[in-house]
Structure 1
Amino acid sequence: MSTVTTSPPLSPSLTAAYRYCEIVTGQQARNFAYGIRLLPAAERRAMSALYAFSRRVDDIGDGPLDDATKESRLKETRDLLQQVRAGEIADDATDPVALALADAADRFPIPLDGLDELIDGVLMDVHGRTYETWEELRDYCRCVAGAVGRLSLGVFGTVPGAPGAERAPQFADTLGLALQLTNILRDLREDAAEGRSYLPEEDLRAYGCTEGFNRSQPQRGADFDGLVRFQVHRARRLFADGYRLLPMLDRRSGACVAAMAGIYHRLLDHVAAEPAAVLRGRVSLPAPQKALVAVRGLAGLDARRAVRKRP
């Protein structure tokens, strides 16, 4: 069913607020921006507002502030979210992200609790948590990425009468996990330089990779390629399961999700082909390849390929 409600046209202040969020999205999230450009204007604006708020939360967690200050800033951000939830953001508010998010939440049934989960996940980062098992890491991924999938579904909605639509939030969550695990693999060295470790400790021990990744070559005696390909296999299974969301979406929303997920799925292929590349720097796709993935997303080609390969 369509999720957008009848709302008045945008005021100049809202137009400016959304424009600010779109600029943040375009500058800070190239992969995300490639996907949402396929959406109608109202949905694209709402997704930019969600991203801009999420970016603010992430920037607090990743910034140079001490832990106590980060916790205080995250509490302030949670309080602001509560004001959005309660409809307390005035039309003349000076915070463009809050203003845009409040309007998006009025126009779409966005489950704003997902943003609370995102803040919970960033607090895990602030506290320097490590993860012994995949089950523990999965809980973190659900906070920082699965929740974003469910938030996005609030904007997209599902096609009326789509079989199994009651499971759409589960599939959106799973697709978010797939994207986050891909991010973790891509950013191994960068995270290690910040003193962060995300891969399950039990997997690091199993493959002899317990000395971290803040170097250009794997540690001696480690099966680094085996570790990475094990995680790639896990991520591919998540992608294949999450792609079951696509038939439940309208064509443009499905194309948006397929494009965003397709970029990360291709990135995963690059990581699998040369695992050690992630120790030398961030692996990324050139702009022409991203554009090709977006086109294939419109046709649903990459999604069908991933589902056919489902383990």
Structure 2
Amino acid sequence: MRITVAATREQDAAGIEGAALRSSYTRCRALAAEHGKTFHLATLLLPAAKRPFVHALYGFARHVDDIVDVTPLLTDAERAERLTRWSEEFLLDLDWGETSDPISRALLDTVARWSIPHSYFADFLDSMRMDLTIRSYPTYDDLRTYMWGSAAVIGLQMVPLLGRRDEDVRWDVIEAHAIDLGLAFQMTNFLRDVAEDLRRGRIYLPQETLDMFGVDADRLRRGVVDESIRNLLAFEIERTRGLYAAAAPGIELVHPTSQDCLRAALTLYSEILAEIEQADYDVFSTRLRVGQRRRATVGLNALRGAVRARRGTQTSVPPLPTASR
């Protein structure tokens, strides 16, 4: 595994020590760079000392997602058994504070330093298990139950790392906005990835919305964009834009050194919705994304703001509790 100069600098800034732990953080960083392009770009806007911990959160989620969706030559029942066994071992390790797993090691260190509630990870694993047994969701409320564990708690995991603007800002207010942003990101993924999810036998658009516009699973599988499918996707896009609008005020409440990271992520992810509209709602022919030039423009503008925010600001990282060393 190639350890980059950037990874070394970030881990030094974060006070991460020990070859095994540093190797774990490096593996998580590589997963984020390979699979989460927009996420990784936004993470680079955070102070160097905080980036490894965000990589650990992403690496853990990606590792579990791979167990669910990527493991070759296994039936859903075999994947479920493997995920259950892995989850039980992980939650025991989480309570114990030690692990031999090369991905989880960085995650446990991050959880201990930032006092992230263990229940968030249990809820995430519950939603991942749902992917192996549930193929569709009758109502939007049912879908939100799934998204609580798959998206909302990921936003909540990030809150301690992002920090707050000042002591007058209530943590629960930031958390409410973080939940909305997590849901917005997840719904954007669902809308962009309709075709990919269908190939995996799943539909993440509520059945009640499909019924509203006269669309069924077979019609989606044909992949022909007609007026009913356009109306269906337009309806869910507007619902998702409402989540982004609810989340946006939270950006001004987090620490100034975290604001440009969130602003860039919100901008780039929300613009995927516009890409769907510009493609005449064709989410079947190709995986739509924001163009590289636009990504570079947003990233560069956000970088300027992030650099200004860091001037005169010292980033503090909680030390690992003595009991967990």
- Does 1:37 pair with 2:56? no
Q: Which residue of 2 aligns with 1:303?
A: none
2:89 and 2:160 map into 1 onto residues whose CA distance is 20
Q: Which residue of 1 aligns with 2:229?
A: 224
Counterpart pick for 1:133 among 123, 134, 139? 139
1:133 and 1:275 map into 2 onto residues whose CA distance is 25
List aligned pairs for 1:283-302, cutoff 5 A: 283-297=288-302
Deviation at 1:69, TM superposition (A): 1.8
Task: Give 3-state SS (helix, strand or coil) of 1:128's partner.
Answer: coil
Deviation at 1:76, TM superposition (A): 2.8
Q: Which residue of 2 aligns with 1:82?
A: 91
Deviation at 1:113, TM superposition (A): 1.9
Task: Give 3-state SS (helix, strand or coil) of 1:89's partner.
Answer: coil
TM-score by length of 2: 0.83
List aligned pairs for 1:1-311, cutoff 5 A: 9-63=16-70, 64=72, 65-89=74-98, 93=100, 95-210=101-216, 211-218=218-225, 222-297=227-302
Does the 8 A contact of 2:14 with 2:50 survive in 1?
no
Task: Give 3-state SS (helix, strand or coil) of 2:50's partner.
Answer: helix
Question: Taking structure 1 as reference, are residues 258 and 234 closer, same or farther at Cα in structure 2, changes over 3 Å only?
Answer: same
Deviation at 1:8, TM superposition (A): 5.7
1:88 and 1:37 map into 2 onto residues whose CA distance is 28
Does the 8 A contact of 2:29 with 2:55 survive in 1?
yes
Does the 8 A contact of 2:197 with 2:203 survive in 1?
yes
Does the 8 A contact of 2:164 with 2:253 survive in 1?
yes
Deviation at 1:289, TM superposition (A): 1.7
Letter in 2 for 1:199: L
1:228 and 1:30 map into 2 onto residues whose CA distance is 24
Deviation at 1:234, TM superposition (A): 0.4
Q: Which residue of 2 aligns with 1:304?
A: none
Task: Give 3-state SS (helix, strand or coil) of 1:86's partner.
Answer: helix
1:158 and 1:45 map into 2 onto residues whose CA distance is 19
Q: Which residue of 2 aligns with 1:307?
A: none
1:7 and 1:279 map into 2 onto residues whose CA distance is 42
Does the 8 A contact of 1:192 with 1:214 survive in 2?
yes
Question: Taking structure 1 as reference, are residues 254 and 225 closer, same or farther at Cα in structure 2, changes over 3 Å only?
Answer: same
Unaligned runs of 5+ in 1: 1-5, 301-311
Task: Give 3-state SS (helix, strand or coil) of 1:278's partner.
Answer: coil
1:77 and 1:244 map into 2 onto residues whose CA distance is 38
1:7 and 1:185 map into 2 onto residues whose CA distance is 36
Letter in 2 for 1:32: F
Question: Taking structure 1 as reference, are residues 216 and 67 closer, same or farther at Cα in structure 2, changes over 3 Å only?
Answer: closer
Deviation at 1:38, TM superposition (A): 1.0
**CA deviations over 1:171-223 (Å, ceiling 9, x no partner):** 1011110011110000011111221111111111111211342234136xx51
1:212 and 1:115 map into 2 onto residues whose CA distance is 36
2:302 and 2:222 map into 1 onto residues whose CA distance is 36
1:9 and 1:53 map into 2 onto residues whose CA distance is 18
Deviation at 1:294, TM superposition (A): 2.5
Instruction: Report sequence identity in percent.
Output: 29
Q: Note the aligned Cα RMSD (angstroms).
A: 2.1
Deviation at 1:96, TM superposition (A): 2.2
State how many pairs are aligned: 290
Letter in 1 for 2:75: D
Does the 8 A contact of 2:25 with 2:52 survive in 1?
yes
Does the 8 A contact of 1:14 with 1:99 survive in 2?
yes
1:193 and 1:76 map into 2 onto residues whose CA distance is 26
Letter in 2 for 1:252: T
Task: Give 3-state SS (helix, strand or coil) of 2:181's partner.
Answer: helix
1:23 and 1:239 map into 2 onto residues whose CA distance is 28
1:196 and 1:168 map into 2 onto residues whose CA distance is 32
Question: Taking structure 1 as reference, are residues 12 and 69 closer, same or farther at Cα in structure 2, changes over 3 Å only?
Answer: same
